[in-house]
């Protein structure tokens, strides 16, 4: 893919280069061009597979998929980055093997300052509305001293797991600003679970209740 004359896309490419350069170490510049060398990954975005499983994946398969994303996030955070856009559209699934790959690092944020010390905070309003942690939203709509941490990736993971099991996220894919205000205002209320069997497991309910409530409070 060739990117020309698009400042916003070039900015995202620079962010992706910074993250992938630290993870894969296969990116380079030649004159005024940047090249990213990446593996060819078989499969399709998880959301496309979910369309064919209208009520979500079986619990065992969802667990396998989520575990691989957890490993990817732990590695990414350990290398000094937060992803900031974890969702079913940014995880590739190979149905033949069950392997999952976290992709699209265009919103990735380095947590390392220029002096090589760890900051761990971000303030930009980026991501995908339905998977966005409330503190990301507050950075855009309240005081300028608000910030968020890598915990926003774990919030998004909770939304991701919910979607794996249910076939759709706990909130609509298309959200408006007013919806996010309402979601943030109801964080202290218990998460409503669908009635079908994937959510009968108390461990699943405990995990998602923690991911979608307690993690947000850790940023306050």
Active site amino acids: 85
Cβ(109)–Cβ(15) below 8 Å: yes
Cβ(104)–Cβ(85) below 8 Å: yes
List strand residue ranges (DSSP E) for the chain, in order: 27-30, 33-36, 44-45, 81-82, 91-94, 99-102, 109-110
Q: How many angstroms separate the Cα of 200 from the Cα of each of 56, 59, 165, 189?
A: 14, 10, 11, 19
Cβ(112)–Cβ(80) below 8 Å: yes
Q: What's the number of CA atoms in the CB half-sphere (13 Å) around residue 37?
A: 6
């Amino acid at each position: 893919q060739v990117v020309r004359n698009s400042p916003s896309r070039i900015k995202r490419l620079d962010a992706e280069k910074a993250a992938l350069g630290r993870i894969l170490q296969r990116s380079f510049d030649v004159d005024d061009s940047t090249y990213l060398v990446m593996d060819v990954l078989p499969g399709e975005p998880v959301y496309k597979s979910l369309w064919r499983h209208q009520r979500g994946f079986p619990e065992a398969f969802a667990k396998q998929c989520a575990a691989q994303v957890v490993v990817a996030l732990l590695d990414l955070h350990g290398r000094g980055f937060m992803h900031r856009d974890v969702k079913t559209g940014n995880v590739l699934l190979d149905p033949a093997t069950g392997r999952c790959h976290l992709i699209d690092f265009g919103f990735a944020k380095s947590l390392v300052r220029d002096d090589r010390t760890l900051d761990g905070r971000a303030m930009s309003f980026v991501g995908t509305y339905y998977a966005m942690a409330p503190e990301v939203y507050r950075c855009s709509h309240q005081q300028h001293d608000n910030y968020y941490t890598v915990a926003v990736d774990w919030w998004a993971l909770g939304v991701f797991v919910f979607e794996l099991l249910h076939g759709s996220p706990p909130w609509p894919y298309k959200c408006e600003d007013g919806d996010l205000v309402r979601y943030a205002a109801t964080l202290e209320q218990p998460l409503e679970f669908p009635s079908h069997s994937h959510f009968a497991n108390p461990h699943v309910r405990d995990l998602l209740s923690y991911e979608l409530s307690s993690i947000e409070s850790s940023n306050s």
